[in-house]
Structure 1
Amino acid sequence: MNAKTTSDNLIIREFTAPKQIKLFISLQKNQVSGQLTFTDPISENEWHFYLYLGNIVYATGGVHPIRRWQRNLVTNLPQIPFSLASLQEQLTEYEADLSDNVWEYGQICNWVKQEIITPQQGKNALLFAAREILFDVTQARQVICRLNQNDILAPKLEPIEPEELIKQNQQIWSRWENAKVADRSPNLAPVILQAKELQEKTSISAYQSLCKLLNGNKNIRDLAVQLRTSPLQVISSLSPYIQSGIFSLVEVPDFLELFTTTEAHNNYQDRPLIACVDDSLMISQMMEQIICLAGYRFISINDPMQAISTLIECQPDLIFLDIVMPKISGYDLCAQMRKHQEFAETPIVFLTANSGIIDRLRAKMVGSTDFLKKTVDADELLQKVVELLP
């Protein structure tokens, strides 16, 4: 590789620790500086290592840079609260933005310079990111490697010694292999697919906690930080449920990814909106998880006395309505809703444990469209949604 050039692409299969050490030791020996990029040809994910004289100044990339940033703050810089709004303001102040690959490094260096964090905290934060990046590179079955020696990031903090980082990563990776979960990405989010089966296998308190925790909004790494454990411990605990089909692992977007462009925001706003009126938070959370993963918008209303005003404002395309609620029953609420022109044609599905002839007749009299069992099953729920939405 000539100095100040961009290298040809190098395909590396099974990028294991020995191959990683061989590559980085060679770069150290030749005192190479620049941006080393690894690309997964299947997922097209990219990870970037900024080198200076062969050492790692900073690593970034992957699918969730802002999620990783939040985890980094919680773990290593707890004196700095995470806020996307304040992050954008700070980057504007430093004349940077989230599209810049080195915005994280700039933030950390500025905080060290201002003595908001210590140099050791800064180094810990850089190591945190580099470990996650290297793990994801290792998990890719094949990577395409290229070096751009025109893109040099001069170190402002102590660089990372590659060999030690690789050895630490190898220990973590070996544990994942030994636990037989090496094919499961820590960037995926666990979700509940079979709520009824889970309820039968757990206590009420455990079931409620799992519904709140596994809502499809946090990936394995996010959960590990929240629970103060390791990603391996999280995925190992969930594995029996995943194998039995009660849980699944799904892709989750980075924070505000849906709203990064006007077009994406408009596309999201065009999706059907489904409402659930139920005083049970647990039922609402379960339905939100299933419906949002299927690509629909969702709104939960837990106070039935506020239901009509909220529904008029948001104009949902489909409404799920609990029958037994405090202060007003689902029957009475449905009858009131049908008096409003806004809900004259809107499908209204009752959520109930009772679906006998008398219940069905009463439901028809007040204008309901259909019934669904209160113990929500993902397949039944989505089938009902597909049937009733155009």
Structure 2
Amino acid sequence: MSPKNTSNNLIIREFTVAKQIKLFISLQEAHLSGKLTFSDPLKEQEWHVYLYLGDIVYATGGVHPIRRWQRNLILNLPQVPFQLSNLQAELTQRRADLSDNIWEYEQLADWVDRQTITPQQAKNAIAFVVSEIIFDLTQAKQVICRLNQDNVLVPTLELIQPQSVITQLEQVWSCWQEAQVTDRLPNMAPVILQPKQLQEKTSISAYQSLCKLLNGNRTLRDLSVQLRTSPLQVICSLLPYIQSGIFGLVDIPDLLEIISPHQENYEHQDRPLIACVDDSPMVSHLMEQIIGMAGYRFLAVNDPRDAARVLISSQPDLIFLDIVMPTISGYDLCAKLRQYPEFAQTPIIFLTSNSGLIDRFRARMAGSSDFLRKTVDADELVQKIVEHLGNR
């Protein structure tokens, strides 16, 4: 269907490459400047493209601006280290300016002025952002486009020709179409849903590597940077496992959620907090993936010496506890926790490979509430949580 204009909004269904080129050529021919905003009503996302006489000054928005910034630095500006704490402090100081979403552009311009990066590197960084955003627009089923000519970003860096970026993107999009993965969003993160089945299909070393890699904290785009390949290659490698249900793709938050001073977000604070005390980071990663997908908050404690202090301060609603750990056994730690009034009624479930009568007796004597096999199955894990917490 061809684009149609409603109340100064241009509704575009299936924002194909041909439609993109047509739109930007018309903007160039009219020499228009301002902020071009694309909205996806289904995903409730917005992207912003800043134009100057029809050329692109910068682009921003979408679901993961901080993750995109991190990837950009790694790929295009390797001399600039990405430090999340420093970025958070800087954005906090400039909070009043965030409404225009141009802090990245201002940072690039500042680095060019200081000769930290070259003008060509800045142009490459801008082109990188524009490419990712236009790819996301291409995947959207429908976008609503509007131009605010009162919001003009005066360029201080080299402008980007829209047609050059779109033409390059056309080749990439064709590859996604040929691989039949255009419905797989590169901003989603792969996670392991069935660890037991994965163990049966891979070697121990491969399984351990996958657990560390697919821990639910990296999107397909993040993984492509880490693995030095393309997001398409990543999704194609994982696709057989996704189709069999061993892996899944989930939405994850940005690295740094920017919250306005007048709008605090307590959306997840009422969800039960599940803690896992286990000296194995791999087990903690698996538990975090499954528990997070089930809608609960998660806390990992990998050093049993810190367990009592951390658990008292965080007050989890349920605790998974490994039996065999260095410095203190699960039995002793459970008995110690039961001495605190805060944990008198808290469900404590032992993670164990041994479920014999003697082990169960010792566990009950120490104050445990239940058992779960150490080879964690997603369905069993969630079922245990529901049994002890109900539908909280």
Q: How does the TM-score come out when normalised to structure 2? A: 0.92
Question: Mean Cα displacement is larger for which, 77-86 or 379-388?
Answer: 77-86
Residue 95 of structure 1, CA deviation? 8.3
Give the 3 Å change call, closer, same or farther, for CA 7–52 of structure 1 in structure 2: farther
Q: Distance in 2 between matches of 1:322 and 1:196?
A: 18
Deviation at 1:94, TM superposition (A): 7.1
**Structure 1 counterpart SS, 2:321:** strand
Q: Does 1:127 align with 2:127?
A: yes
Aligned to 2:47: 47
Equivalent pair of 1:31/1:53 in contact (CA under 8 Å): yes
Q: 1:377 to 1:70 in 2, by over 3 A?
A: same
1:135, CA displacement in angstroms?
Answer: 0.2
Q: Judging changes above 3 Å, is the alpha-carbon distance between structure 1 residues 364 and 191 closer, same or farther for their aligned structure 2 residues?
A: same
> Which stretch has the larger CA shift, 227-236 or 359-368?
359-368
1:177 correspondence with 2:183: no
RMSD across aligned C-alpha pairs, in angstroms?
Answer: 2.2
Change in CA separation of 1:316 and 1:111 when aligned onto 2, cut-off 3 Å: same
| CA distance 1:60–1:266, shift in 2 (3 Å) | closer
Q: For residues 359 and 236 of structure 1, what CA distance do their matches in structure 2 show?
A: 45
Distance 1:276 1:181 in 2: 36
Question: How much has 1:269 moved relative to structure 2?
Answer: 4.1
Structure 1 stretch displaced more, 275-284 or 350-359: 350-359
Please give the alpha-carbon distance, in whole angstroms, between the structure 2 residues aligned to 1:62 and 1:45.
6
3-state secondary structure, aligned to 1:48: strand
1:160-193 residue CA offsets vs partner (Å, 9 max, x unmatched)? 1111111101111111111111001101011111
> What does the per-residue CA deviation read over 1:194-224, in whole Å, with 9 as the maximum and x for residues that have no partner?
0111111111111111111111111111111
Separation of aligned partners in 1, 2:196 and 2:261? 38
Contact 1:88 1:97 in 2 (8 A): no
Cα–Cα, structure 1 residues 85 and 365, in superposed 2: closer, same or farther, change >3 Å?
closer
**Deviation sequence 1:286-336 (CA, Å, 0-9, x none):** 112222333323222223343333333332221111122234332233233
Work out whether residues 109 and 157 of structure 2, in 8 Å CA contact, stay in contact via their aligned partners in 1.
Answer: yes
Residue aligned with 2:11, SS = strand
Q: Report the counterpart of residue 306 of structure 1 in structure 2.
A: 306
CA distance in 1, matches of 2:68, 2:35: 20
- Residue 91 and residue 304 in structure 1: after superposition, are their counterparts in 2 closer, same or farther (change >3 A)? closer
SS of match in other structure, 1:328: coil
Match of 2:242 in 1: 242
3-state SS of 1:186 partner: coil
Deviation at 1:337, TM superposition (A): 2.6
Q: Answer with 73-82 or 125-134: which moved more.
A: 73-82
Distance 1:128 1:7, change over 3 A: farther
The 2-side partners of 1:217 and 1:91 are apart by 22
Q: In structure 2, what is the Cα distance between the partners aligned to 1:7 and 1:157?
A: 33
Q: Is the 8 A contact 2:95 2:260 kept in 1?
A: no
- Structure-2 change in CA distance of 1:31 and 1:309 (3 Å): closer
| Higher mean C-alpha displacement, 76-85 vs 323-332 | 323-332
* Structure 2 residue 120 is matched with structure 1 residue 104: no
Gaps of at least 5 residues in structure 2 are 1-5
1:69 match: 69
Q: Distance in 1 between matches of 2:66 and 2:148?
A: 24
| Superposition TM-score, scaled by structure 1 size | 0.92
Q: Does the residue aligned with 1:21 lie in a helix, a strand or coil?
A: helix
Question: 8 Å contact 1:96–1:103 — kept in the other structure?
Answer: no
Contact (CA 8 Å) 2:88, 2:256: kept in 1 or not? Answer: no
Distance 1:312 1:90, change over 3 A: closer
Q: 2:66 touches 2:256 (CA, 8 Å); kept in 1?
A: no
Question: Aligned ranges for residues 264-275 of structure 1 at < 5 Å?
Answer: 264=264, 266-275=266-275
SS at structure 2 position matched to 1:98: helix
Change (3 A) 1:93 1:352: closer
- Partner residue, 1:3: none
Q: Is the 8 A contact 1:258 1:265 kept in 2?
A: no
Q: Identity rate of aligned residues, in percent?
A: 68
